Amino acid sequence: MAENEQDDNQSSDKAKEFERLLDDQEHSQFVLRLYVTGLTTRSTQAINNIKNICDEELKGRYELEVIDLAKQPELAKGENIIAAPTLIKKLPLPLRRLIGDLSNKERVLLGLDLSPRS
């Protein structure tokens, strides 16, 4: 009987740890960098798209830095940017890269390890 109680306690502890990890993810701060090349239509779309997604899904939990590679081309090499626009999720880990105008919200959320708010 004591063995069953121990198994139940371990299962309960694992469930609590899982819930804690989910809660941490829901409240974690996102650090994002969007690399664009000038004020092109594609760059502007990417900026607007990621701002809208962040405002809807990460309200108050994100830091977004937009970097214009036309003005700071040396930063492309440091981050291994091969195409623009490129969004890099620095935090929370794991690091993720998304390339394009970020118009497909479902793909962006998947890339950020998020599920849409209901």
> Which superfamily does CATH assign the domain made up of 29-111 to?
Glutaredoxin (3.40.30.10)
Q: Which pLDDT score is estimated for 78?
A: 87
pLDDT in tens, 72-84: 999 988 899 999 9
Q: What pTM was computed for the model?
A: 0.76
Would you kindly state where each structural domain of the chain is located, as residue ranges?
29-111
Distances in Å between the Cα of 68 and the Cα atoms of 8, 27, 37, 75, 103 are: 55, 29, 5, 9, 19
Residues in the chain where the model's pLDDT stays below 50: 22
Q: Which pLDDT score is estimated for 26?
A: 59
Burial, 98: exposed, middle or buried (Cβ in 10 Å; 0-12, 13-18, 19+)? buried
